[in-house]
Structure 1
Amino acid sequence: MSVLDESVVFVDIETNGLGYKRGRVIEVAAIRVEASWSEIQSYSSIVNPQTQIPAFITKLTGITSKDLDSAPCFADIADDLYRFLEGAIFIAHSVRFDYSFLKQEFARVGKKFNPRMLCTVKLSQALYPQQQSHKLDSIIGRCDIKVKNRHRAYDDAYAVLRFVEHARKKFSDNVVDSAITSQLKKPTLPKGLSQTVVDSLPQDHGVYIFEDENGSPLYVGKSVNIKKRILSHFRNDHAVATEFKISQLISRINVRPTGGELEALLLESKLIKEMQPLYNRRLRATKTMTLARQSKDSRGYINISIDDISKIQPGSTEDILAVYSNKGRAKESLNQAIKDSRLCPKLMGFEKNSGSCFLFQLRKCDGACIGQEAPQRYNARIIDYFAEKRIESWPFSSPILIEEKNPVGPDTPKAIVVDQWCVIADITQDEECSPSISLYDRAFDIDTYKILSAHLKNKMHLLKIRPISTSQLQIMANS
């Protein structure tokens, strides 16, 4: 008995074109097959999304907002549709798309929807690996399937059913069942990825890059176990909007193994800034950053100014109290410092008037602006407040070579060289060969600083550190 002789239901939906979190189903169709395909039932309904639908959706489907005005809402059809789908293997072309929308619609009416799923894109890839395209239009043409109204839910669901029928006639039950059961036993993958790609992923430290079919980067991530982390993206893509968008576009995975977690963190930060992936927001490169700088006036009081700069010069961080993404964040932080530590808004750069500041008149400033508070006492509060925000001095007297203690890491040892919080080289030592060294220009990066500082504070036991001079490094690079 074939897997397809169980209860199966072929499903297609049309939507209003928004992501599944805010988007709504405007049409749903399902064709249920029972008892070795001797019993076939169908269900179809347009659905009122309770909002206008865009013109491009009308152009694609032929469905207008007027058509939907008198249609039932999803809540009105939810019980009937749920009963129709219940207990059957849920089959659709790019199944995660249809499933994600229906799961969300059912959740809105208090129903949990977690069927076993089969994707006919993946089935086509398994049965027809020689074909370049596995889009529904390509399959319809290849299998000579007659479709009257493409991009209408019933017609597309029927086309998917006919494709499966065609495959069962062309291949033996064993071949078709093998392709199907491999899907049912494993997490459903995005339509653009094959199981072979996922099976070949390493289970160690490294960075991964999701790319679309044109090779454009969608997302850069890192993990101590690349394979496990990548699979977690796809298990959760129906619940997280960004993961869902990635799963619809991903076509390739590029992997870069690293010597350990520290190297992975640094490489992830570097690649995000270089590649500017579509779905990475954190760690992106910015054209400018805002610094809060300190300087002492003639009376010995610390004054603070904020400046926008494009980069920080290595070794010139002593007067920097904090680094912010923009002036708005900087001013917000300085205002909070004034409130929390009774600092003077005049010395903090917010007031330009002569005489006392406004807060002194409200008894919320201790009078540093007019010399009533001793400089040492006032300055101590500033230093204390910004202690965790400021860039620390480089704690070593020379550059250092860092190698990570990673017993299950790559066979080829790796190390990085750091000076003044800047990565200035990486070293790869192949067996029985001279080390391969890549040198980099000194460039201070705030994210690199945060990564290195945190690792040196909290994970020193995982690092092998030894001093190395720039002349030693240069000799190694030239040898």
Structure 2
Amino acid sequence: MFAIIDIETCGGKFNYQRGRITEICILVHDGLTVVDKFTTLLNPECNISHYYVGITNITNEMVQNAPKFHEVAKKIIEMTENCVFVAHNVGFDYNFIKDEFASLGYKYQRETLCTVRLSRKLIPGRISYSLGHLCASLSIEIFGRHRAEGDAVATAQLFDLLIQLKNNNPLYKNKGLVEIMTRRIDNIKKYILNKLPESCGVYYFLNKAGEIIYIGKSINMYNRAQSHFGTDERKGKKMLNDLYNVDFVETGSEIIALLLESEEIKKHKPLYNRKSKADIFTHSIDWFKNKEGIISFKIVPYEEAENSLIAFTNYLSTRERLESWIEEKTLCLQYCTLTSEGSFCFNHQIKKCNGICAGEEEIEEYNKRAQQILDQYSFHHPNFAIIEKGRRADENALILVENGHYAGYGYFDVTDNFSSSEEISGLVKRSLYYPDTDGILQSWLRKSKRRVIDL
């Protein structure tokens, strides 16, 4: 069974405030003929602009007393159930209807078939495959162009013709319409999306040998994975050609997903991940107070760091970050260990240093600016736990920081109480430590207040 559908809208894509469906027509087709029909105007609950009135001739007055989408949603579900969703440029109609359902909290899913793609396969060589041009070239008259029923009826007549052409074609006559249009990537997409939940976590794309080729994270793994299949990037398309399976870990918490993704990318080094793959850190920016009490910074080899603020995988990146701090906070080159001790720094000569090196700035004033960097790149306390939402309503997540560094995460029941830091620490799944995970966590903590327990 097929549900041939056309919609009219007041926007190019779904938007609750200005892009909704204004008319829908559903023709149920049994493969031989249309056996049922439903058509109605819809009140979009937003203004229809003059532009879209000009296209469809559907005015605000016409839809004022029409049913709203939620009032016909059940009818749409019932009429399209166990049917292939057919439309001319099916992505537009299907995604619009799917988004309308999503706004109601319902996940609408149907197998789809596009008469544009089917026409290209069965009627190759046409100048245009728009519904108007295609129907005109095939002597299919459209009564009511850019109205849902008129376009749906024309699509149904085109569909009938395509079925005849398919049945007369020796290559396709023994195949179903959906089978003709199904590519390998369509099957993979369906398989992948059926496995992934609409929840927060980390997902792993695998090739045929079971090797991890890409790791990603999202607050909605299903939606994020779906976006991969719409890529126009050459590398993205190559990844899809290698894609064979998917695995995932639900985290509940977005920050746990971020931390886990970063660790897993370094551990597995997937072929198609571009960022965060380096796991060897060579240089660090250390901080200390000199004998006068001035907050100072210096670049050191990572393994020699004593009070590391941030680490990098090469010297150049480390130097660039320190120079950006000098520029942003008007720091002195001498107290960033970039000029010889006891000399006036070059920046003082060109008025980019306030003169701490020449005794012209109070230490307290200089330290206020330097302290801002310490606050940005340090945790407020060396040992603490962050409480986040878990994977279920009856579960909380826990992120542990020990000795000023990210240590790992765990989960516990919302009814659990703890009497010691050892109990909290015992819940944690320990993570491999990489310096950049501290930065991920610090950046996330700065965005909003979190429930924190000092240990």
Alignment TM-score, normalising by the size of structure 1: 0.51
CA, structure 1 residues 389+241, in 2 after alignment: closer, same or farther (shift >3 Å)?
farther
Deviation at 1:275, TM superposition (A): 1.1
Deviation at 1:403, TM superposition (A): 4.2
Inter-partner Cα distance in structure 2 for 1:351 and 1:411 = 56
Aligned pairs for 1:444-459 within 5 A: 444-458=433-447
Inter-partner Cα distance in structure 1 for 2:197 and 2:379 = 36
Paired positions, count: 300
Q: 1:145-202, CA deviations, whole angstroms, 9 ceiling, x for partnerless residues?
A: xxxxxxxxxxxxxxxx9xx845533x5xxxx124357x5xxxx772671624422321
Deviation at 1:355, TM superposition (A): 3.5
Inter-partner Cα distance in structure 2 for 1:273 and 1:290 = 18
Q: Letter of the aligned partner of 2:173 in structure 1?
A: R
> Hey, what does 2:225 align to over in structure 1?
230
Pick aligned residue for 1:375 from 334, 341, 363: 363
Pick aligned residue for 2:256 from 245, 256, 263: 263
Deviation at 1:256, TM superposition (A): 1.6
Is the contact made by 2:376 and 2:442 (CA closer than 8 Å) also made in structure 1? no
Aligned: 1:416 with 2:411: no
CA, structure 1 residues 359+36, in 2 after alignment: closer, same or farther (shift >3 Å)?
closer
> Hey, what does 1:392 align to over in structure 2?
379
Deviation at 1:222, TM superposition (A): 1.3
Q: Percent identity?
A: 23
Aligned: 1:206 with 2:205: no
SS at match of 2:277: coil
CA, structure 1 residues 34+250, in 2 after alignment: closer, same or farther (shift >3 Å)?
closer
CA, structure 1 residues 350+196, in 2 after alignment: closer, same or farther (shift >3 Å)?
closer
SS at match of 1:262: helix
Aligned: 1:168 with 2:161: no
> Hey, what does 1:309 align to over in structure 2?
302
Aligned pairs for 1:169-208 within 5 A: 169=174, 171=175, 176-180=176-180, 183=182, 190=185, 193=188, 195-208=190-203
Is the contact made by 2:253 and 2:397 (CA closer than 8 Å) also made in structure 1? no
CA, structure 1 residues 394+311, in 2 after alignment: closer, same or farther (shift >3 Å)?
farther
> Higher relative CO (CA 8 A, sep ≥ 6), structure 1 or 2?
1
RMSD of equivalent CA atoms: 4.5
Aligned: 1:426 with 2:410: yes
Which consecutive residues of structure 2, in runs of 5 or more, have no partner in the other structure? Answer: 1-30, 34-116, 133-165, 416-423
CA, structure 1 residues 347+413, in 2 after alignment: closer, same or farther (shift >3 Å)?
closer
Inter-partner Cα distance in structure 2 for 1:401 and 1:35 = 56
Inter-partner Cα distance in structure 2 for 1:360 and 1:401 = 43
SS at match of 1:193: helix
Q: Letter of the aligned partner of 1:213 in structure 2?
A: K
Deviation at 1:341, TM superposition (A): 4.1
CA, structure 1 residues 369+211, in 2 after alignment: closer, same or farther (shift >3 Å)?
same
Inter-partner Cα distance in structure 2 for 1:370 and 1:34 = 79
Is the contact made by 1:294 and 1:321 (CA closer than 8 Å) also made in structure 2? yes
Aligned: 1:350 with 2:329: no
Is the contact made by 1:223 and 1:261 (CA closer than 8 Å) also made in structure 2? yes
Is the contact made by 1:322 and 1:389 (CA closer than 8 Å) also made in structure 2? no
Q: 1:408-428, CA deviations, whole angstroms, 9 ceiling, x for partnerless residues?
A: x44783633513342345246
